[in-house]
Amino acid sequence: MNRPALLGLIGLVILCLLCLWCRAPAIENDVLEAALACASDAGLDPEQVSVSGRDVTLSGPVQNQKTHDLVTSCIAAFSGTRTIVDNLEVLLSGSLSFRTNYDEVTIAGVVPTATAKTAIVTTAENLWGAENVSDQTEIDAGRTIGGWSDDDFAQFLAVLQHSRRDLDIELTGGQAIVGGTVLSNLARVRVLGATVALLPGFEVVDQLMIRDPQTPREILQVTLDNLLDGKVVEFELDSAELTGAGQDVLGQVVAILKRNPGRVEISGHTDSTGAADHNQDLSRRRAEAVEQYLYANGIDPGRLVSTGYGVARPIASNATVEGQSSNRRTEFHALKEN
């Protein structure tokens, strides 16, 4: 090879090396973005992902094998990835159960940290009252129930307390096994919907059974549930003014209350669209409007309590139009007599 050709070849090699050197940071950034996206989709903490060049290192605990396999296969599928250093530790599956009996709750099983235990028990005590909460949980950092989020569990417990039913719910191995009894199909739909909406990391297994009412309180509840199964108390858009259709439904509620004794909580709920404080106020005003309608049509105000819960107690995912529609609702709950 003559000297000019050799110099040209050397120059070409140097140019290629310079191109690779200049491109290296961009490649590393692409791999990092892809790895972080995979971690986010799998529910893995981004702090557990690091990238050097085209090599990805994963470290720390992971809730279950499914999450492990999901994140590693996703990263491996990215064409820019060269190797994956897998230092993830799959935690052993534990279980956590909630058993409710109207005005009492028992919490049993394992939680991964003292902070998690405190968060759950404190939330339950705030909802049911400390004297009505039986805490049988243990702390085991080596075990997990998966899909952990203090905020999700706080909302989930609120929905369980609000349902006032005999429920037996176990969270284990990535599943939420929902058992126990409810009084109506409407109650069943609400409990299952809340589980799906608030515990998205779990596969929901339906083992609920519908039982016959036994007491005057239960008869009132199931009668109201059966009326509202497939119906809504309708309001004007973004308003506490009842529509004609809403008044028609409430006319039937009046008839039920006149035939059946007992106190009732009227609860207003909204979807997550808009500001939280606006939704809270709207739900309160709608519940109060229903209370006033019932009072004006002959129901003793001493039998009625109205509360607005805003977005706090969803029974469906707010990610869909259908879910938002389900969450915009008015509920009636038969209360324990004083």
User: Mean pLDDT throughout 193-209?
Assistant: 89
pLDDT in tens, 30-57: 888 888 898 888 888 889 989 888 888 9
DSSP-derived letter for residue 235 is: B
Pick from 237, 256, 264, 252: nearest CA to 325: 237
> Mean per-residue pLDDT for 119-141?
90
What confidence tier does 3 reach under pLDDT thresholds 50, 70, 90?
low
Give yes or no for residue 100 having a pLDDT over 80: yes
For 13, the enclosing helix (H) or strand (E) is: helix 3-42
Residues in CB range of 265: below 8 A, 6 or more apart: 305, 306, 307, 332, 333, 335
Cα(246)–Cα(242) distance, integer angstroms: 6
Q: What does the pLDDT read at residue 20?
A: 46
- Averaged pLDDT of the chain: 86
- Domain 93-210 has what CATH class? alpha beta
Residues 256-293: tens digit of each pLDDT: 999 999 999 999 999 999 999 999 999 999 999 999 99
In angstroms, the Cα distances linking 41 to 56, 58, 67, 333, 334 are 16, 15, 9, 38, 41
Q: What is the pLDDT of residues 5-29, one digit of tens each?
A: 555 555 555 555 455 445 556 677 8
CATH 3.40.50.150 is right for the domain spanning 216-334: no
How many other CB atoms sit within 10 Å of the CB of residue 338?
A: 5
Q: What is the pLDDT of residue 146?
A: 64
Polymer length of the chain: 338
Give the pLDDT of residue 17. 46
> Domain coordinates of the chain in residue numbers?
23-90, 93-210, 216-334
Quote the pLDDT of residue 115. 83
Position 149 scores a pLDDT of 61
pLDDT of 96 over the 80 cut: yes
